Amino acid sequence: METNIRLDYDKISKINDLGNIVNQYISGVIKERNISIEKNNSIDIITDDNKAEFDLTWLQKIDSKKDVYEYMSNIQSWTGYVSDIEEDNFTAKLIDKKDPTTYEIATFSKEDVSDGDLNLLKPGAVFYWSIGYATNKGQRIKQSLIRFRRSGNISVQVFDQAMDRAEELNQNLTWD
Amino acid sequence: MMEKYLQIEARSVVLIGNFNPLIFQPAWFSQKELIQEEEARSAVIEIIHPEITKFNIGDWLNFEVTVNRCSFTTAKEPYFEPIKDLVFGIFSILRETPISALGINNTFNLLLHNYENNYKFGSTLTPLDIWDQKIKKPRLLRLEIIEEERIDNFRRSISITPSNQKMGISININNDYKIKKIESVLDILSSKWDEHSTEARNIVNDLLRKIFN
């Protein structure tokens, strides 16, 4: 008998989200711990035909026009999970990409969201928030960018469950 | 360490397989809600042809597809996650696409600032004095290091080339997967994206630390 397996990628994406939250949190805890161990121990840091490699041409063009290309540097990035929406604002739980050990809560104005993403603003929606300095024609400007994810959103309850699970795993970690 | 030298960080996803370039159009991306409508309207289209489609979305996405190669590139860090979501979204829809390889590429354009740093970088990676008698003032131009064996269909390679800036170099870290099923592409994008990003930064940081510390 032939069996057809159809994968629900939306579900997979949601499952991956949960895994990612837990993984981000736990890997952050482990990273912090390793840094602390490294500090204490003063550890020294130590062609295929069909290769899917990057063609540098486009990047070379940008590099040569870098003085006019708007490029962000010193970037801090968070993944946000929308928890509450009011008339002009929305509240979100934020996980720092570089330090995913805890989450913060922040309120944003809806005006910070581009018109093309406003229809995605719903409880459980996932977005990426970056702040950094943009250089354009020699001018250095502080920039903030919010971009909503277009698939795989999760509910606030599921987010909280994932964070609780991550915290539980953290409590159970034993360090030799 | 890297921040002292970093000029541009880019991320690209390259797929090898069989593609129909006519499908890949900004309007189709928008219709499938993979990008914003306004982004599709303002896309800068270079060519749409049965053999090749090429366009830019805003100033963040450079897209190119031929009948056997499809690439998504961004040089803007805030769009590293959106580019992954875009590839994931497209190939969740085009699930019948035959794909044989996936490359996740992290590229760093560095400016070494002066001749001394530039020379030290090249001469540390390859001892230039062994060429002294055959070549006048030998210098390193390009270098590629590959893993000897492919393990679990995966192989990493690192190439170093000059960038377009004077005293500039480009370090490209290619994470190359042989693919049998399209589900593997989606799985790798979900599970390996952050890992490759962290590893790539560590590789460049370690390299710079070993050379300049």
Nearest to A52 among B62, B79, B102 (CB): B102
Tell me what the mean pLDDT of segment A73-101 comes to: 91
Higher pLDDT, A23 or A171: A171
Confidence band, pLDDT 50/70/90 cuts, at residue A46: very low
Q: How large a percentage of chain A has pLDDT more than 90?
A: 31
Q: In chain B, count H helices and then E strands.
A: 5, 9
CB interface of B with A, residues 87-106, below 8 Å: 88-89, 92, 100-103, 105
A22 or B54, greater pLDDT:
B54
Closest by Cβ to A53, choosing from B14, B88, B92: B14
Are B78 and A150 inside 8 Å of each other by CB? Answer: no
Q: Which of A16, A72, A145 sits opposite B190 (nearest CB)?
A: A16
SS3 track for B31-48: HCCCCCHHHHHCCEEEEE
pLDDT of residue B88: 95
DSSP SS3 for B2: helix
Per-residue pLDDT at A19 exceeds 80: no
Cβ–Cβ below 8 Å for A52 and B81: no
Burial code (b: 16+ CB inside 10 Å, e: under 16) for B67-78 equals eebbbbbbbbbb
Q: What is the pLDDT of residue A74?
A: 75
pLDDT of residue A151: 74
Torsion angles phi and psi, residue A143, rounded to 5: -125, 145
Beta carbons of A133 and A74 less than 8 angstroms apart: yes
Strand partners, A104: A94
Residue A154 has pLDDT above 90, yes or no: no
- What integer pLDDT is reported at residue A32 of this predicted model? 58
Residue A122: pLDDT over 50: yes
Residue A101 or residue A94, greater confidence: A94
Find chain B residues with C-beta within 8 A of A46's C-beta. Answer: 206
Chain B positions touching A30 (Cβ under 8 A) are: none
Tokens representing residue A19 in the block: 């895994």
Structure tokens at B121: 């970088």
The residue among A53, A115, A142 with the most chain B CBs within 10 A of its CB, best to mutate, is A53
Q: What is the DSSP letter of B68?
A: S
Q: What's the CA gap between B168 and B113, in Å, rounded?
A: 8
Asked if A90 and A82 touch (Cβ cutoff 8 Å), the reply is: yes
Predicted TM-score (pTM) of the model is 0.81
Burial letters for B128-152: b for 16+ Cβ neighbours within 10 Å, e otherwise?
beeeeeeeeebebeeeeebeeeeee
- Residue A59 and residue B10: Cβ atoms within 8 Å? yes
Give me the helices (H) in chain B, please. 26-31, 37-41, 80-93, 115-125, 182-212
Supply the pLDDT for residue B190.
92
CB contact under 8 A, A73 and B6: yes
Which tokens is B102 given? 């996936």
Residues of A in Cβ contact (< 8 Å) with B191:
16
Mean pLDDT of all residues in A96-101: 84
| Mean pLDDT within A13-32 | 58
Is residue A117 predicted with pLDDT exceeding 70?
yes
Mean per-residue pLDDT pooled into runs of 10, chain B (213 residues): 91 97 97 95 96 94 97 94 96 96 96 94 93 90 92 94 92 96 94 94 96 92
From A46-50, A99-103, A167-171, the region with the lowest mean pLDDT: A46-50
Amino acid, single-letter form, for residue B120: K
Amino acid of residue B45: I
Helix (H, G, I), strand (E, B) or coil at B117: helix
- Both tokens assigned to A13: 């994406």
Q: Which residue has the higher pLDDT, A50 or A112?
A: A112
For range A37-41, the mean pLDDT: 45
Instruction: State the complex-level ipTM.
Output: 0.86
**Is 50 exceeded by the pLDDT of residue A43?**
no
Instruction: List chain B residues with CB under 8 Å of A9.
Output: 88, 92, 186
By CB atoms closer than 10 A (0-12, 13-18, 19+), residue B127 is exposed
Q: A124: phi > 0 → left, psi -120 to 50 → alpha, else beta; which? A: left
Identify all chain B residues contacting A59, using CB atoms and an 8 Å cutoff: 8, 10, 73, 75, 107, 109, 170
